[in-house]
């Protein structure tokens, strides 16, 4: 049972409650990072699967030519048939190769710092936040991410890009320490034009 800043652990030794709270905060941050990275990886996998299938579909343009009629065994193929078969097999090999290759792309991250229902509202919020946190947000670009659900459309203001989820979580933690609500998210949307 904790009394003041100290309590007794299961082994009877004193436990610093502040240290426990700090460890809980560190673990919560690690869980948020892992969840963001998982979501980004799943999105990237889905994107790569879709693009690989599109590439394969565009490569496969024909089929093996049929050999005319019921040719008796041992008869030579008609002129040009061997070349046509060779070309069709080459296209098929290219399609098989494309299925085995994946396009490596970079996943970037951002911090969501505000939300609203109009671009002018987001511009105003960006101006306020950029002035209040110029040392932290000054290096990033404002981005608008559109979310649509059963309640309507919400515009989300993002700041980024950042190279990885850990950077986004760290920036967000620093913003939270100043009372700014934020979340680390994938860097997806359109650039917000500041007038």
Give the number of other Cβ atoms within 10 Å of residue 180's Cβ: 17
pLDDT on residue 115: 94
pLDDT on residue 71: 56
The helix/strand/coil state of 171 is helix
**Model confidence, pTM:** 0.51
List the chain domain ranges: 13-65+80-105, 107-191
- Tens digit of each residue's pLDDT, the chain (195 residues): 444 455 566 666 777 888 888 788 778 877 777 777 777 777 777 777 776 555 445 444 444 445 555 555 556 656 666 666 666 666 666 665 555 555 556 789 999 999 999 999 999 999 999 999 999 999 999 999 999 888 889 999 999 999 999 999 999 999 999 999 999 999 999 999 887
CATH fold for the domain made of 107-191: Alpha-Beta Plaits (3.30.70)
Strand 6-8 relative to strand 152-162, pairing? unpaired
The helix/strand/coil state of 21 is helix
Nearest one of 183, 176, 168 to 115, comparing CA atoms: 183
């Amino acid at each position: 049972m904790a009394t003041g800043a100290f309590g007794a652990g299961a082994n009877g030794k004193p436990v610093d409650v502040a240290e426990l709270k700090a460890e809980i905060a560190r673990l919560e941050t690690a869980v948020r990072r892992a969840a963001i990275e998982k979501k980004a990886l799943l999105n990237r996998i889905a994107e790569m699967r879709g693009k690989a299938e599109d590439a394969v579909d565009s490569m496969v343009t024909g089929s093996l030519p049929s050999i005319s009629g019921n040719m008796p065994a041992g008869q030579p193929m008609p002129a040009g048939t061997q070349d046509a078969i060779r070309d069709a097999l080459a296209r098929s090999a290219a399609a098989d190769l494309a299925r085995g290759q994946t396009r490596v792309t970079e996943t970037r991250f951002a911090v969501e710092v505000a939300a609203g229902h109009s671009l002018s509202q987001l511009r105003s919020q960006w101006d306020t936040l950029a002035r209040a946190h110029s040392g932290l947000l000054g290096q990033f670009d404002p981005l608008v991410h559109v979310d649509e659900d059963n309640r309507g459309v919400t515009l989300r203001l993002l700041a980024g890009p950042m190279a990885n989820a850990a950077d986004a979580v760290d920036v967000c933690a620093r913003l939270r320490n100043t009372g700014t609500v934020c979340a680390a998210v994938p860097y997806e949307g359109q650039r917000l034009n500041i007038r």
